[in-house]
Amino acid sequence: MLRFWVMVLLLAPAMVWAMGDPQRGEQLAAVCSACHGQDGNSVVPEWPKIAGQHQDYAARQSILIRERARDVPQMWPMVADLTDQDLWDLAAFYEQFEVSVGVADEELVEHGRSLYMGGSHSAGIPACAGCHGPSGEGIPGVHYPQLRGQHAEYTADRLRRYRAGENNGDDDPYSNIMVTVARNLSDQDIEALATFLEGLHMARFDELAGR
């Protein structure tokens, strides 16, 4: 299965790359701050933190929402009239900030850590760290997002949607990968992963990895 998805990504159409201008992005960010916070650290658990998010991932997601390939009704009016360059500039602005981390649920964190770091062979669940990195930093340039510090409520909702088969269209291989990854997750798995990620940050990585 992993070999199949590697081939899908190699054959997928390349995204047109741009470089965002964070200074121009700051001028456009006023409307975004109402939901995501002035520094990209939203205080509402249902709205994602975008501070420190890789600009290639953030810009791509915003474009998908604008084109209605990704269904986010609350955000579409905010991006409907923005150009690709506008969205790259906004992404570059928020990439400059540091994401704030929360505190993981002690009763679930060990299960979340185990799944994130090692997956579950018996359940057919791959390790999340394989794509998103052991510290949740993601991989810039290949659209694997930063996950650490994200609100648990938001992460759990996204995983449940992927498990239900929701993607960003058949032409988006990345969301289709997540549909495959999430399909064997139980409700408990999702809650454990989500809370683990909310509390995951570099200062605690060695402790959480059992080193």
Determine the pLDDT at residue 17. 55
202: which DSSP letter?
A: G
Sole residue written with tokens 């965002």: 20
144: which DSSP letter?
A: B
10 within a domain of the structure (yes/no): no
Determine the pLDDT at residue 204. 52
* Host domain of residue 36: 15-95
101 within a domain of the structure (yes/no): no
| Whole-number Å distance between alpha carbons of 24 and 21 | 5
Determine the pLDDT at residue 18. 67
Domain boundary among 68, 95, 122: 95
| Whole-number Å distance between alpha carbons of 20 and 9 | 24
Determine the pLDDT at residue 207. 54
pTM for the whole thing? 0.87
Q: List per-block mean pLDDT (blocks of 10 residues) for the chain, which spans 211 residues.
A: 42 57 96 95 96 97 96 96 98 97 94 97 96 95 95 98 94 93 98 96 51 50
Q: What is the number of domains present in the chain?
A: 2
User: Is the dihedral angle over the CA atoms 204, 186, 12, 15 positive or is it negative?
Assistant: negative
Domain boundary among 95, 118, 142: 95
DSSP SS3 for 121: coil
